Amino acid sequence: MSTTSTGNDAGRTGSGTASGDAGAESGNAARGASVIVNVLQVIRCFTVETPVLGVTEIAAQVGLHKSSVSRILATLEQEQVVERDEASRKYRLGLGLIAVAGPLLAGLDVRRIAMDDLRALSEATGETAALNIWDGTAAVTVEQVPSRQQVKHTSVLGSRYATGLSASVQVFLAHEPAERVQGLLDAGRIVFDAPTDGTDPAPYPERLAAVRRDGHAVNHGETQADEAGIAAPVTDHRGEVVATILLAAPRYRVPAERLPELAAHCREAARRISQRLGASRP
């Protein structure tokens, strides 16, 4: 009887401890969530109508003590999410907030913004025009306007390309730090097969330097013998490459002498989309 009683008591004690731990974790999570909510409430106080606010004004809006608001603002100022107006000693939103929101804004806008120019590019060249983004290790097709011609090159939306000689991959890697490119190659994340046309390509760093210089990349039957691809970079308001415009065509319709013409069309489409994303005109 006593043994059974001791076991039951131990069971209740253990249950109480677990409940206490769960309660503590729940309390910590709630406090953490509360801090995040408070920070967001402070940021949301800044509007077009009231772009500059003081601690007292913000505290009154969010219902927090002025000391709490001051601590939040101090942290946000360190991260450049807000900045202090020297004349009034009040605060306004800082450029750091744009840097945080930039990738999201570009990701949301680029497909919608690119559609008209993709259609125009396909119409002007008679070939498939596609939009690719970079996921860190591969170029991913996110939009496409197929050629109206019966024989065409297209890809399934969501297709990933990680071959070093792919035109879009060349563009993305041309604008990555050299050590990042080398790391991807060393890790085997970027496949660098021999060109299908049997040519001996220039050393890869030199090739990427040429892509940066020329403003476009070419894959003239190097990854697939019957396909030609030309890609140009799309940049956002920060000057960062957020996508590529790709022309894909059967190689027999793209003799070497036609490459400059198609490259010019591709660069122009990429330039127009970049301007709509806030990029400075080259």
Which CATH number does the domain housing residue 32 bear?
1.10.10.10
Name the nearest CA neighbour of 227 among 250, 256, 193.
250
98 belongs to a structural domain: no
Residue pair 227/268 in contact (Cβ under 8 Å)? The answer is no
Range of the domain at 51: 2-93
Regarding whether 79 and 8 lie in a shared domain, the answer is yes
117 in a structural domain: yes
Domain end marker among 72, 93, 114: 93
Total of domains in the chain: 2
Token output for 206 = 């030199």
Same domain (yes/no): 12, 139: no
Residue 132 inside a domain? The answer is: yes
What's the pTM?
Answer: 0.63
Q: Which of 93, 121, 147 is the last residue of a domain?
A: 93
Residues 205 and 85 in one domain: no
* CA–CA distance, 282 with 275 (Å, rounded to integer): 9
Could you give the CA distance from residue 234 to residue 51 in angstroms, rounded to a whole number? 31
Query: Which pLDDT score, from 0 to 100, does residue 15 have?
Result: 41
Q: Rounded to an integer, what distance in angstroms lies between the CA atom of residue 45 and that of residue 91?
A: 11
The answer on 114 and 84 residing in a single domain is: no
pLDDT given at position 87:
82
Instruction: Say if 120 falls within a structural domain.
Output: yes
The predicted pLDDT at position 199 comes to 55
- Name every residue whose Cβ is closer than 8 Å to that of residue 92 and which is 6 or more positions away in sequence: 46, 51, 52, 53, 82, 83, 85
Considering the domain boundaries, does residue 230 fall inside one?
yes
| Residue 96 pLDDT | 82
User: Is the residue at 41 inside a domain?
Assistant: yes
Q: How confident is the prediction along the chain (282 residues), in pLDDT tens digits per residue? A: 333 333 333 333 334 444 555 555 555 556 656 889 999 999 999 987 789 999 999 999 999 999 999 999 999 999 999 999 888 889 999 888 877 766 665 665 788 899 999 999 999 999 999 999 999 999 999 899 999 999 999 988 888 899 999 999 999 999 999 999 999 999 999 987 655 555 556 689 999 999 999 999 999 999 989 999 999 999 988 889 999 999 999 999 999 999 999 999 999 999 999 998 888 754
* 101: in domain: no
